[in-house]
Amino acid sequence: MVHADDAALIKRFNKGDPEAFRDLVDRYKDLVHSVIRQTVPETNQAEDLAQEVFVRIYRGLDGFRGQSRLSSWIWRIAYRVCLSEIERIRRDRGIVSLDEQEFAVNPKLHPDLVDGSDALDNLATRDLWEAIFRELPARHRMILVLYYFRQLSYLEIAEVLDRPMGTIKSDLHRAKSALRKAYLHIKPSSK
């Protein structure tokens, strides 16, 4: 299950090679950082969160048995760190967790997106997607990022999030439907 290069890295780490962990960090640091930034775009601590991911990897690598891909295990840790950060931000802002709720544009976060003002017309499509994306439940964001940005398969995402593949498929579908609904609602001209 483990990628050949990753398997070699783990073997070196378990043999006590001090360079092995550094090589692992070099291989994944930019990707982990990018996935965190994309999954939690509202954070300004993406690099600290990436540090946290690697601290957890370092502490857990001894117990990693290779039953899943190393990358899947890393994304799973990254996902948990992202969830904690999203919860922290929502708590700080006094917003109820949206993780398991049906998507809706949250007026507390984006009043400009729901008041129908002219400001909407000035939003570029990219900014609009970004704003809508931020409102998705964390799991849906992670699925979208892993599926499109990291181009993982349904099976790999199922490994990462520890859910059946069918659930991942329907979650991805729901996430896209929610995006589409919000996109068409906010941008009437694209209907």
Cα-Cα end-to-end distance for the chain: 44
Interface of this chain with other proteins, residues 111 to 170, rule: CB under 8 A: 125-126, 129, 144-145, 147-149, 169-170
Q: How far apart are CA 135 and CA 111, in angstroms?
A: 12
Are 149 and 82 in contact by the 8 Å Cβ rule? The answer is no
Residue 96 CB, nearest approach to other proteins (Å): 26
Q: Is 173 in the site for other proteins (CB under 8 A)?
A: yes
Q: Is 176 in the site for other proteins (CB under 8 A)?
A: yes
Residue 45 CB, nearest approach to other proteins (Å): 12
SS3 112: helix
Q: What is the DSSP string of 118-166?
A: THHHHS-HHHHHHHHHHTS-HHHHHHHIIIIIS---HHHHHHHHTS-HH
Q: Is 42 in the site for other proteins (CB under 8 A)?
A: no
- Name the site residues for other proteins (rule: CB under 8 A): 18-19, 21-22, 25-26, 29-31, 33-34, 37-38, 46-47, 50-51, 54-55, 58, 125-126, 129, 144-145, 147-149, 169-170, 172-173, 176-177, 179-180, 183-184
